[in-house]
Amino acid sequence: MGINKAMMDGTLDLSDEDVFVEDEPSDVGNSFFETRCHGLKVLVLAPHPDDEINVAGNMIFNLVQARAKVFVAYTTNGDFDIDAAIRAKEVAQSLEILGVKRDNIIFLGYGDTYNGKGNPHIFFTDKPTTSPAGKIETYPAGEFIDYSYSKHKQHSKYTRQDYMRDLKELILDIEADIIFCVDFDRHADHRMLSLTFEQVMYEILSRPDNNYHPEVYKRLTYATAFTAVRDFYADNLLETKRPFADTTESYDFDIINRANYKWSERVRFPVCEDCREPLINNNPIAKAIFCHKSQHNEWNALGILNSDEVYFERRTDSLTFKAQVESTSGDACKVKDFQIINTNDVDAIPAKINDYLWLPDLNDNIKTLTLQWNQLQQIEQIKIYGSISDDSGIDKLEIKLGNVYKSEKKLSEHGEPLVINFPEKVFANCAEFKIIKTHGQDYGISEIEIFAEKEAARAIKAFINITHNDNFIYDYFILNKIDCIELEVYKFHVDRPIELTATGGNIERDKDKFILHLNSEIVTVRAEVMDEPAIFDQVVIHRVSNLYFWQLKSKQLLERLKIHLMRKFKFLNR
């Protein structure tokens, strides 16, 4: 079959003859991939069909392989300009590749929108609105009955209240151990899901009898996936790059290193062997992306596929959710509403962050907020988030825990949390926060988190990954003239020292770095947590000739050309 004919009928295959095959089997391993998750429930919340990959494509595949029960829910039918039945069919094909069962695919059935186009977004109105597809209530996407109808035998209106109710019921129906959710992206539907999820979680976590505390990971699915740097065809698979405003496509407000989004503290999950080949052809994530033919996302695969998948973690076990909160003025509930940032305009580009702070009245001379519990609480850690503004903040905050602790602190800049750790557990039934000195106008407190334990109980166990130049490495290829490289170790909730050993090389330690001297063509490096060898990472470094990279680049160039032609042909025939 010729390439033009293949593009015409959508059957273009990047054939096996173009796959770069390694000469020797890999000896790569990681304790992360050896964990079995029988009985574990995972919920992936995506705003549109195809966003399942941007939110958690790699983790869906990882956790299905580990035998977890994975559910994927879409808030919209993806029907802005494509029929919902087509989008649903593409979803079914995509998730079949990733291993998700059809019965675990859920559509809430709301309208796909775009920032500022058409009728008001349901974010802005409590009255039913009409979606760009002409719908005023949820409806089936192809063979997938909308969630409200499948549960209540009636469709939901396109209102903010119904959207919140459906999302809350879904989360409580599944009670997943782990939730992956979109974070505050550029798209109005992404922002709607991100903010509504946080509102719903606040309602759930604040229930008097609540004992549900899922593990939550949120992802900037545009800036770190869909429109991330298209760097797949590097010599080795690279890390997810930090986005920058006016540089990274669709990233117009620089949220990184503000509030909870500190890049150095991002969660980085490793990529399994099937998903890190140097060519896309056999990569299941790429195949899943290609299933969404109506979206012409082939080129985006080159940015989505990296050596890690990046999230920002949100703990759900803060004691503030169980506290009664009062203040001398202002909306005290802002400090425990699970929203570190917020907006009252999901359409705005660039983003406008507002309505997220406890901000006392101008004439309030006391400026005090109090949290009260019915009984003594064990406390090991406090996190206090302030304003993300560049020119406002709290210079002096008095903090009291009952009669056992009193201190004055300056809040961190840009809303990054002030973290107070107690070497010995303290017990108190009240906490008081008094603002004494400020600068600027928007100086309030966004969120207060108080934890009984510094570390939460997690379904995803601690792990480590060896890095080079901050890239996760697995099978790693370098020129044979290189005889020394620098390694570090990424640690996911590991606080013990790491030991590195090498076969075919020697290792010198320099603080948190390791200098590896390569003595042979193939060097195996193993990292273990000291006194806990069950947590390990093992990589293989291959020293190869220029010919290896020339052959690889040739094959990658051909594959890239095929993807370009496929994309160009589809656009010409839209």
**pTM as predicted:** 0.93
Name all domains of the chain by residue range, CATH numbers in brackets. Answer: 1-35+461-546 (2.60.40.1080), 36-314 (3.40.50.10320), 319-451 (2.60.120.260)
Q: Could you say which DSSP state residue 59 is in? A: H
Q: Which two tokens stand for residue 121?
A: 């977004």
Give CA separation, 367 vs 286, 326, 373, 432, 444, in Å: 53, 11, 20, 11, 10
Burial 149-184 (b: 16+ CB within 10 A, else e): beeeeebbbbbbebbbebbbbbbeebebbbbbbbbb
Determine the angle formed by the axes of helices 84-98 and 51-65, rounding to 10 degrees: 30
Other Cβ atoms less than 10 A from the Cβ of 406: the count is 11
- H or E element at residue 472: strand 471-472
Q: Which two tokens stand for residue 151?
A: 């549960």
pLDDT at res. 512: 83
pLDDT at res. 24: 55
Q: Which residue has the tokens 């009260």?
A: 372
Burial 41-76 (b: 16+ CB within 10 A, else e): bbbbbbbbbbbbbbbbbbbbbbbbbbebbbbbbbbb
Q: Which two tokens stand for residue 227?
A: 């429109």
pLDDT at res. 297: 85
How confident is the model over 445-472, as pLDDT tens digits?
A: 999 999 999 999 999 999 999 999 999 9
Please report the beta strands in 480-531, taking only residues with DSSP state E, as ranges in sequence order: 484-492, 498-503, 505-510, 513-518, 522-529
pLDDT at res. 25: 58
pLDDT at res. 12: 35
- Segments of the chain scoring below 70 in pLDDT: 1-25, 568-574
- H or E element at residue 64: helix 51-65
**For the sheet containing 463-468, what is the strand order?**
471-472, 463-468, 484-492, 513-518, 505-510
Residue type at 124?
F
How confident is the model over 48-66, as pLDDT tens digits?
A: 999 999 999 999 999 999 9
Determine the angle formed by the axes of helices 188-205 and 160-174, rounding to 10 degrees: 60
How confident is the model over 152-168, as pLDDT tens digits?
A: 999 999 999 999 999 99
